[in-house]
Amino acid sequence: MTTTTDKPLLILIAGPYRSGTGDDPALMAANLRHLESAAWPIFAKGHVPMIGEWVALPVLESAGADVFSPLASEVLYPTAERLLRHCDAVLRLPGASAGADEDVRIARERGIPVYTALDEIPARSA
């Protein structure tokens, strides 16, 4: 797709983080690195990448909790929902993830574009 946009978009990168890891911290870190691998291509197109865990994990840590804490359910999904009030688009990466599926549902409900590939994201015009 070769469309362009005149303003930088805030794009939520959605995909598996905890899903499919059996709560193995190394696998969760690998999933986060996979989400982060889309950050540079989004930035290079003139936009601002965002990942919910970039916000939620420090919030949990500052509360003395982590993703395994009961507090996590009150922070992880709500963070993404709040971010979607500010995001202009969502990039849904492949992989089973109830949270990412919920992000897509919310985005579509709010009329926010959902991309499933980096090449679908319009470049920002100069």
Whether residue 2 has pLDDT greater than 50:
no
Residue 28, both tokens: 């969760």
Closest C-alpha among 100, 75, 80, 107 to residue 20 = 100
Q: Are 12 and 83 in contact (CB under 8 A)?
A: yes
Topology annotation, domain 7-119: Rossmann fold (3.40.50)
Task: Report strand pairing: 89-92 vs 114-115.
Answer: parallel
pLDDT in tens, 58-82: 999 999 999 999 999 999 999 999 9
pLDDT in tens, 48-57: 999 999 999 9
pTM of the model as a whole: 0.94
Phi and psi at residue 124, to the nearest 5°: -80, 130
Nearest-angstrom CA–CA distance, 2 and 24: 40
